[in-house]
Structure formats: structure tokens, C-alpha cells
Structure 1
Amino acid sequence: MHVIELRFECFDNTTISAAEQAINGLLEAYRANGQVLGREFAVAFNDGEFKVRLLMPEKSSLAKRYNSPWVERALQGLTDAKLLHPREKYIGQDINSEVSSTEPASWQLLYTSYVHMCSPLRNGDTLQPIPLYKIPATFNGDHKRVIKWQTEWQACDELQMAAATQAEFAALAELTLCDSDLFRRGWDLRGRIEYLTKIPTYYYLYRVGGESLAHEKARSCPKCGNNEWLLEEPLLELFHFRCDDCRIVSNISWDHL
């Protein structure tokens, strides 16, 4: 991932309120298209200009060729707010985040966790994140639904990892059960991405609990009952199960590894 600074200058009289609305609208449009990462953006005003530092999947993430219709509309909104289009200043590569995938994937998967800020679409050969703007828009011109699903998955993951309240059990059900709302939305998004990219796309189904290691190895695919989805060797050292019919990968319960 890469860090840049955007600077917004005024070309005519404006107000803080108008500038704030226009800048935040642009940042949210970039986020919904996967061009910038994270949830919160600190916008500072100093010496007559607005500045914000952003984390991006690639150095070229804000190139015009990747813009969604909503990004283009938000850029026009800057003009309406009497702001020039932003100037970019490259800061450098972020040493605490992952490198985006640059190689074609033979298969891909939806995989995230509460500690990941990167794209939830991963190259199945390397597990590196694939920038969402590199694939066709999933719905309504961008990838807002994928980002929303990722946010919900991460919220559930953080609750179950904290293990401090009764909410843990509801969150865990969303992550591990095939009849949960979170699974249904994510699995449908997976199918949409596979249709658009023509690349086999899988959904990661989180697994924790279980009676024993032997019991875990004997369990079947929870969606179709396939008894032969256990792999001889784990994929990417993480996934011990793969059902090609249901497009699901999963792990042996972390409690028994």
C-alpha cells in the first residue's frame, strides 16, 4: 500500500462547510470504489488549503481511468464548492500493510479480518489483495456493496475476538453459518464478481469451535454436504477445505490447530 497527500486549494470565496462537504464526498466516492482504504480521513485546513493523507492500494490508484461515475461527479462537486481539483504529493510505501496483487489470478476469494484495511478480494494463488477498481463495477457503478460487506464482516470479527459480551455469539454465527445474513450477502457478491471477472471466486467461511481435530477433519461442506472437501495440504497455509461446487473455502477450527 502507498501513502499520498491530497491538497485542495480554493479558487474563489467559499465556506468551510461547502469545502468539507465536497472533499468528504470525494473521499467517500474514492473509498466506495476501492481507490482509497480505511474508514476515517483527517482533513486539515492550514495556510488557505485543505490537506488529507490517504492510504491507497497502488501508486496509481487515483488515476482517472479508475474513476467511477460517482468519483467523477464528486470531482465536479469540488468545482461547485470553489475548490481546484486536488494536487497529489506521494509520501511513500506503507511498511505496515500488504502489497497489492499485480499478477493474473487463476482463482480468487473474498477474505478479510478486523485487522485488514486492504481489499477483501484476494488473489487465490498468493493471497495478495486485488484492488477493487481493477475489476468491473459490482453494482451501481462502483464497489460500495463489497466495502459495506467487508465493514460488517470486520465488525463481527472484532466482537468475537474480544469475547467480552453476549454479542460475541451472534457475531460468531454471522461469520460461521451458511444461513446467516452476512454469508448470504457475501456469497452473492462472490457470485457477482465471478460472473464479471470470469475467474473462479470463493468465499471464506470462518470456523472456530468443534469437538476435536478428528471431528473437524470429518465434517462436510455446510452448504451442500460434500464429504470430500478436505484437502491433502492446506491452501496458502490457511484453508484446509475447499468445495468447488459451492465455491467455499474454510479452515479446520482454530481451536484444534
Structure 2
Amino acid sequence: MFVTELRFEPFADTTITAAEKAINHYLEALRANGQILGREFAVAYNDGEFRVRLMQPEKTSLANRYNSPWVKSALKGLTDAKLLTPREKFIGQDINSEVSNTEPVSWQLLYTSYVHMCSPLRSGDNLLPIPLYQIPATFNGDHKRIIKWQSEWQACDELQMAAATKAEFAALDEISEVDSDLFRRGWDLRGRIEYLTKTPTYYYLYRVGGESLASEQARVCPKCGSQEWKLNEPLLDMFHFRCEPCRLISNLSWDHQ
């Protein structure tokens, strides 16, 4: 991922309130399309202009060709707020994050965790994140539903990892059970992505617990009951199960690895 600074300079008299609203609207539109990453953006005002530093998947993430209808509308909103089109200043590559996938993929999966800021769509060939704006818009012109699903999955993951309250168990069910609301929404998104990209797309089902390693290795696909989903060798050194018909991928319980 890469760090870029955007500068918003007024071209006529405006107000902090009008500028703040227009800039935040623009940033939210970029986030909904996967062009910038993260949830909070510190916008500073100094020397007559507004500045914000952003994390983006690629150097070219803010190119006009990737803009969604919402981003295009938000750019017009900047003009209405008397702000010039934002100027970009490339800062550099973030050394603490993953690089984005740049190769054609043979299959892909929805996979995230509470420590990941990048796209939840991953290449099945190397597990590198695929920028969402690189695929057709999933709903209503962008990828807001995928971003929302990712935020909810990460919130549940953080709760179950903290293991400090009763909420841990409800959160764990959401990311590990096929009858949960979060699974159903993610499963539908997975199908939509596969339809749009014409690429086999799988859903990662988190697994922890289980009585023993033997019982884990013998478990069946939780969606169709197939015993054929156990792999002879783990995929990407991480996934030990894959059900082709159900488009599910999972791991041996983290408690028995």
C-alpha cells in the first residue's frame, strides 16, 4: 500500500463547515469504492489549505478512470464548496502493509481479519489483496456493501480475539457459522463478485475450537455435509478445506495447529 497526501485549496471565499462537509463526503466516496483504505481520516487546515494523508492500494488508486458515480458527484461537491480539485503529493510506500495483487487470478476469496486494512478480496494464487475498484461495481455503482461487511467481520473478529466478555461467543458465531447473518451477507457478496468477474470466488469460514485434531480432520462441509472437502495439502499454507460446490474455504481449528 502507498501513502499519499491530498491538498484542497479554496479558489474563493468559503467556510470551514462547507469545506469540511465536502471533503469528508469525497473521502467517504473514495473509501466506498476501495480507492482509499481505513476508517478515520485526519483533515488539517494550515496556510490557507486543507490537507489529509491517505493509505491507498496502488500508486494509481486515485486515477479518474477508477472513480465511481459517487466519487464523481463528490468532486462536483468540492467545486460547489469553492475548493479546487485536490492536488496529490506522493509520500511513499507503507512498509508495514501488504502490496496489492497485480497478476491475473485463477480463483479468489473473501478473506479478512481485524488486523487487515486492505481489500477483503484476495487472490487465491498468492493471497495478495485485489483492489476493489479493479472489479466491476458490486451494487449501486461502487463497493460500499463489501466495505460494510468487512467492517462488521473485523469487529466480530476483534471481539472474539479479546475473549473478555460474553459478546465473544456471539461474535464467534457470526464469523464461523453458516447460518449467521454475517455469513449470509458475505456469501451473497461472494456470489455477486463471482458473477461479475467470471472468476471462481470462495468465502473464508473462520474455524477455532473443536475437540481434537482427529475430529477436526474428519469434519464435513458445514453447508452441504460433504466429506470430500479435506485437502491433501493446505492451500497457501493456511487453508485445509475447500468445498467446490459450496465455494467455501476454511482452516483446521487454530486450537489444533
- Same fold by TM-score greater than 0.5: yes
* Aligned equivalents of 1:188, 1:74: Cα separation in 2: 28
**Alpha-carbon distance, 1:3 to partner:** 0.3
In the other structure, the counterpart of 2:80 is 80
Question: Aligned residues: percent identity?
Answer: 80
Per-residue CA distance 1:1-37 (angstroms, 9 max, x = gap): 0000000000000000000000000000000000000
Alignment of 1:165-176 (within 5 A): 165-176=165-176
Per-residue CA distance 1:107-160 (angstroms, 9 max, x = gap): 000000000000000000000000000000000000000000000000000000
In the other structure, the counterpart of 2:59 is 59
* Aligned equivalents of 1:238, 1:190: Cα separation in 2: 20
* Aligned equivalents of 2:75, 2:138: Cα separation in 1: 21
Structure 1-normalised TM-score?
1.00
**Alpha-carbon distance, 1:92 to partner:** 0.2
* Alignment size in residue pairs: 257
CA RMSD, Structure 1 to Structure 2 (Å)? 0.3
1:229 equivalent in alignment to 2:234: no
In the other structure, the counterpart of 2:239 is 239
SS at match of 2:119: coil
1:95 equivalent in alignment to 2:95: yes
Alignment of 1:5-44 (within 5 A): 5-44=5-44
SS at match of 1:116: coil
**Alpha-carbon distance, 1:75 to partner:** 0.1
Letter in 2 for 1:130: I
Per-residue CA distance 1:36-84 (angstroms, 9 max, x = gap): 0000000000000000000000000000000000000000000000000
- Structure 1 stretches of at least 4 aligned residues deviating more than 4 Å after TM superposition: none
SS at match of 1:126: coil
* Aligned equivalents of 1:162, 1:208: Cα separation in 2: 14
**Alpha-carbon distance, 1:106 to partner:** 0.1
In the other structure, the counterpart of 1:213 is 213
**Alpha-carbon distance, 1:202 to partner:** 0.1
In the other structure, the counterpart of 1:160 is 160
Per-residue CA distance 1:162-219 (angstroms, 9 max, x = gap): 0000000000000110000000000100000000000000000000000000000000
1:183 equivalent in alignment to 2:203: no
In the other structure, the counterpart of 2:248 is 248
* Aligned equivalents of 1:249, 1:103: Cα separation in 2: 22
Unaligned residue ranges in structure 1 (runs of 5+): none
Letter in 1 for 2:41: F
**Alpha-carbon distance, 1:252 to partner:** 0.5
In the other structure, the counterpart of 1:105 is 105
In the other structure, the counterpart of 2:145 is 145
Letter in 1 for 2:78: L
Letter in 2 for 1:148: K
